[in-house]
């Protein structure tokens, strides 16, 4: 799998640290709009960051990365709406 850690747009993420201590995205703010994370569809680690594919309450799927280097969040791919 190709690493995406240098790609993407900065995005504001409200995250929650569970019992494992690693943050999970709970809310996204993009282009002045806020969306709650309804479900984490997938998660994995690649060199450089932790990746999350999430479904938001507006039915969009987003791919996010929390970069290890500076713990910043990035939107890796454009959102797409589920039908």
Tally of helices (H runs) and strands (E runs) in the chain: 0, 8
Note the pLDDT tens digit of each residue in 22-77: 789 999 998 888 999 999 999 999 999 999 999 999 999 999 999 999 999 999 86
- Output the pTM of the full model: 0.80
Pairing of strands 23-30, 12-17: antiparallel
Q: Is the pLDDT of residue 19 over 90?
A: no
Query: What pLDDT is stored for residue 27 in this prediction?
Result: 96
Model confidence at 3, pLDDT cuts 50, 70, 90, reads very low
């Amino acid at each position: 799998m190709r690493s995406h850690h240098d790609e993407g747009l900065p995005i504001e993420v409200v995250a929650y640290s569970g019992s494992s201590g690693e943050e999970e995205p709970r809310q996204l703010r993009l282009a002045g709009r806020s969306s709650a994370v309804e479900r984490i569809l997938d998660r994995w680690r690649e060199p450089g960051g932790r990746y999350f594919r999430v479904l938001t309450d507006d039915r969009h799927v987003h791919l996010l990365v929390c970069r290890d280097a500076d713990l910043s969040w990035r939107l890796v791919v454009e959102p797409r709406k589920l039908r």
